[in-house]
Amino acid sequence: MGYKVVVAGATGNVGREMLNILAEREFPVDEIAALASRKSLGTEVSFGDKTIKTKDLDTFDFTGWDIALFAVGSDATKVYAPKAAAAGCVVIDNSSLYRYDPDVPLIVPEVNADAIEGYRKKNIIANPNCSTAQMVVALKPIHDRAKITRVVVATYQSVSGAGKAGIDELWDQTKSIYNPVSEVPPKKFSKQIAFNVIPHIDVFLDDGSTKEEWKMVAETKKILDKSIKVTATCVRVPVFVGHSEAVNIETEEFLDWQEAQEILREAPGVMVVDKREPGGYITPIECVGEYATYVSRIRQDSTIENGLNLWCVSDNLRKGAALNAVQIAELLGNRCLKKG
């Protein structure tokens, strides 16, 4: 006996990836529904070797459905997630709407699986920000061994994190530079993204940080440990898929880089590729389509007493969004719903 599963936002980048991963991981699905806004009604999407047509999110009845994976943004989630939850369908939400709600668990299964039990308060589980998800997978084993006190992270985030419009803008601007028939002015991003980097993701806050940077701080504390100090600089780069992060870690106890490397090799969800030679590390283009969070460039930071540096790369549409949501569904099924 399997689950009746809904994917809301099935025509978007993340929604399509959710359907792909549900099929790839052979999630026990008895019945699947792909939902979209009315303007995308009837669009065909793939689920394994099947093709299914989208249904109208606005009129869909969630009664009798077990799990709904939401990839529709905060505004639509605010309307439809409570309806699904009230109908008895557990919502796993990819937007930022519920991440900071104390009654909604924010889950990365390799890091804080036990928090899943808290879903019963609202029948909703939050999926973290893409840049946070991959970072905490790498931080967790180090924190367990040496207790992390402070993290300084600079991100190099791909345009797919801004949705299809971000991908299209990079593609169109790149073409226009090589074939300057028509200009493609910035629309999705604040400045030209082709052949450029932009130190600005999401809106600016009063303290000069951006909301993306604030998210990384707040979510790391909620998922991993509220006592960890985190500071972030989030940068958009002209890469289609795959977020990268340069992470500086300060720990309470000394941890040498060789032991950190071994700990990370054994950690769930982590793949260490760390040869101290040209090409002995992972770049975003190599992680596309992969499940793992890749860690490279593990080394001591000699400027502080207990410090490490590392490079962390992951497919943001997978571990940063769709894969993590499906892993939450698997965890929910195994620990709580127990139907599959």
**DSSP symbol at 279:** T
Select which of 234, 243, 287, 312 is catalytic: 243
19 CB contacts (<8 Å, ≥6 apart)?
7, 10, 32, 34, 45, 46, 47
Question: Is 243 in the active site?
Answer: yes
Burial of 328: CB neighbours in 10 Å, binned 0-12, 13-18, 19+: buried
Nearest to 337 by CA among 120, 126, 121: 120
Nearest to 248 by CA among 282, 207, 298: 298
Contact, 132 vs 312, CB < 8 A? no
64 Rama sector, left if φ>0, alpha if ψ -120 to 50, beta otherwise: left
Contact, 113 vs 106, CB < 8 A? no
Contact, 244 vs 313, CB < 8 A? yes
Helix (H, G, I), strand (E, B) or coil at 305: coil
Select which of 130, 234, 287, 312 is catalytic: 130
Query: What CA–CA distance (Å, rounded) separates 253 from 19?
Result: 43
Nearest to 98 by CA among 119, 67, 75, 126: 126
Give the sheet arrangement for strand 243-251, strand by strand: 229-236, 148-157, 243-251, 307-314, 293-300, 270-272
Burial of 183: CB neighbours in 10 Å, binned 0-12, 13-18, 19+: exposed
Contact, 49 vs 20, CB < 8 A? no
Q: What's the token pair of residue 336? A: 């709580």
Question: Is 200 in the active site?
Answer: no
Active site residues: 130, 243
